[in-house]
Amino acid sequence: MVEDHSQRLDAVFRALADPTRRAMLRDLARQPRSVGELAQPFEISLAAASKHIKALEHAGLVQREVQGRIHMCRLDAGPLHAGMEWIRHYEKFWNQKLDVLEALLRAEDRASKPPSPRKPPSRTPRPPRNRR
**What CATH number is associated with residue 19?**
1.10.10.10
How far apart, in whole angstroms, are the C-alpha atoms of residue 52 and residue 122? Answer: 78
Sign of CA dihedral 89, 95, 100, 105: positive
Number of structural domains, the chain? 1
Among 56-70, 73-87, 107-121, the least confident range: 107-121
Q: What percentage of the chain carries pLDDT values higher than 90?
A: 53
Q: Which domain holds residue 39?
A: 2-75
Mean pLDDT: which of 50-59, 91-100, 102-111 is highest?
Answer: 50-59
Q: What is the pLDDT of residues 5-60, one digit of tens each?
A: 788 899 999 999 999 999 999 999 999 999 999 999 998 999 999 999 999 999 99
Residues β-bridged to residue 73: 33, 64
Averaged pLDDT, 51-75: 95
Q: Look at residue 3 in the predicted model and tell me its pLDDT.
A: 58
Residue 88 lies in a domain: no
Average of per-residue pLDDT values in the chain? 87
pLDDT confidence bin for 1, thresholds 50/70/90: very low
Residue 30 lies in a domain: yes
Residue 89 lies in a domain: no
Residue 7 lies in a domain: yes
Residue 105 lies in a domain: no
Total Cβ atoms within 10 A of residue 78 = 9
Residues β-bridged to residue 74: 63
Residue 98 lies in a domain: no
